[in-house]
Amino acid sequence: MNFHVLTLFPDMIIDGLNTSITGRAIKNGCLSVEAVNIRDYANNKHMKVDDYPYGGGAGLVMQAAPVCAAYDSLVQKIGKKPRVVYMTPQGYTFNQKMAQDFAKEDDLVILCGHYEGIDERALERIVTDYVSIGDYVLTGGELPAMVVIDTVSRLVPGVLHNSESAETESFENGLLEYPQYTRPEVFEGKKVPDVLLSGHHANVEKWRLEKSIERTKKYRPDLYEEYCRKQSGT
Ligand code: ADE
């Protein structure tokens, strides 16, 4: 899968994703991440890409022309009109289902805003999906873009190895994940739960489900309610 990020801070994207599991997937060819610097498409000698908002107010707004020119060059390169995700607090909240949907694309363009956002006319022309990563405001769309790329990447075939399987983790079954333990058997006087040492697979699964339900009820009552509704078939 190929990610193309339109940004004023390409180093943030490249440096942030070239490590750990995404870095390995880029090296072995499962993923590519290209950061396109919107400033390279400025149409003035000062390479200015922002200006004051019409109607007044604080901050600067990114201009439509360089954003659209950077997008047009990507369309040329990809050879078809791609899906374009704009990272903004004014979007649908990102979730695992959205990530699964994005993972079906061969090419995904992610547009990062800065300052007070991007001229609406550019957004109307190129954006297909408006996505927020939560109810808080960051200084720009680069960290949110990395959140989306990381989440989608682990669903791309070949990115995770068997031991890192994406299947049993939180949200795939609508519940938060159960607690995990590794050696030693006793740490600061606290012992690993006996059932996990028993070798009784069915009992381990039963215990994990109970713990998942307990955690979900405590931390995410909204998900717990949905889980109960599904279990009762209503
Ligand atoms: N840009 C600034 N804040 C954001 C958020 N919460 N989600 C996505 N993009 C953003």
Q: Give the tens place of pLDDT for each residue, 21-31.
A: 999 999 999 99
Question: Which protein residue's CA is at the shortest distance from atom 6 of ligand 1?
Answer: 89
- Evaluate whether 67 touches 84 at the Cβ level (below 8 Å): no
Dump pLDDT digits (tens) for 147-158: 999 999 999 999
- Res. 170: pLDDT tops 90: no
Q: Supply angle C-alpha 128, 59, 10, rounded to 5.
A: 55
- pLDDT above 70 covers a percentage of the chain that reads 98
Question: Which protein residue's CA is at the shortest distance from atom 2 of ligand 1?
Answer: 138
- Evaluate whether 106 touches 81 at the Cβ level (below 8 Å): no
Domains, the chain, ordered by start? 2-153 (3.40.1280.10), 167-231 (1.10.1270.20)
DSSP the chain: -EEEEEES-HHHHHHHHSSHHHHHHHHTTS-EEEEEEGGGG--STT---EEPPTT--SS-EE-HHHHHHHHHHHHHHHSS--EEEEEEEEEEEP-HHHHHHHTT-SEEEEEE-BTT-B-HHHHHHH-SEEEESSSS--SBSHHHHHHHHHHHHTTSTTSS-GGG-STTSTTTSSSPPPP---S-SEETTEEPPHHHHS--HHHHHHHHHHHHHHHHHHH-HHHHHHHHHHHTT-
Determine if residue 174 is labeled as part of a ligand binding site. no
Q: Supply angle C-alpha 38, 39, 45, rounded to 5.
A: 145
In this prediction, residue 55 has a pLDDT band, given cuts at 50, 70 and 90, of very high
What distance in Å separates the CA atoms of residue 14 and residue 185, rounded to the nearest whole number?
Answer: 40
What is the C-alpha end-to-end distance of the chain, expressed in Å? 38
Look at residue 166 in the predicted model and tell me its pLDDT.
66
Distance 228 CA to ligand 1 centre (A): 32
Q: Considering only CA atoms, which of 84, 82, 46 is closest in space to residue 63? A: 46
Distance 181 CA to ligand 1 centre (A): 34
211, two tokens: 């713990």
Question: Which protein residue's CA is at the shortest distance from atom 7 of ligand 1?
Answer: 132
Question: Which protein residue's CA is at the shortest distance from atom 5 of ligand 1?
Answer: 89
Atom of ligand 1 lying closest to residue 88 CA: 9
- Res. 1: pLDDT tops 80: yes
Distance 170 CA to ligand 1 centre (A): 23
- Evaluate whether 158 touches 25 at the Cβ level (below 8 Å): yes
Determine if residue 40 is labeled as part of a ligand binding site. no
Ligand 1 pocket test: pick from 13, 133, 135, 146 the residue with the most ligand atoms within 8 Å of its Cβ: 133
In this prediction, residue 40 has a pLDDT band, given cuts at 50, 70 and 90, of very high
Determine if residue 136 is labeled as part of a ligand binding site. yes
* Binding pocket residue ranges, ligand 1, CB within 6 Å: 87-89, 132-134, 136-138, 141, 144
In this prediction, residue 167 has a pLDDT band, given cuts at 50, 70 and 90, of low
